[in-house]
Amino acid sequence: MAFISKKSPEQQALAAAEKERKRQEAEEKQRAERLERERQAFLATPVGQARQCFERGDLVYQCSIDVMSQQAITVAMVGSTTTQQTTDAVVVLNAVCREGWELVNGSFVFVEQGQQSRDKFMSSGQNVAIKGETVGYYLFKRCEANRRQA
């Protein structure tokens, strides 16, 4: 014969309260983990790195931002071309300045990542398409007046 135990209302209330407490702890742990992931993702950005450099007391900060990406496209018997995708770095640069930095210099470099070529159809020569990206390098100096508290 099986022994069936019935919980009293107090025991049921305690069990429900314990279950709710564990659920809340799990939610809080997930929330804390999500916030830490978001914090780490922010610190990996140029703005997050600028904040870390400012808090560390650095006098200069340099970052690079991909401002244009170019993909090579070659089509047999037709020719070659490229597609471009540009990014506006102004939002990032303004955010870095608000972290306590002043833009001193910016320069751009095209970094070639490869090229594709095909012989021209029914004529001499080749069609060449170049793949690469244009990278902006920016140098900032510390400027306490630009610091905005987030």
What is the structure's pLDDT at 80? 54
The answer to whether 47 and 96 have CB atoms below 8 angstroms apart is yes
Higher pLDDT, residue 1 or 24: 24
Q: Tell me how crowded residue 131 is: count the other CB atoms within 10 A of its CB.
A: 16
Among 101, 83, 84, residue whose Cα is nearest residue 92: 101
pLDDT at 135: 93
pLDDT at residue number 138: 96
Whether pLDDT at 28 is above 60: yes
Structural element, H or E, at residue 102: strand 101-119
* Average pLDDT for the chain: 84
Residue 81: predicted pLDDT: 58
* Distance (Å) of CA 127 to CA 104, 116, 132, 150: 40, 8, 17, 51
Strands laid side by side in the 60-75 sheet: 79-86, 60-75, 126-142, 101-119
pLDDT in tens, 91-102: 999 999 999 999
Residue bearing the bigger pLDDT, 121 or 135: 135
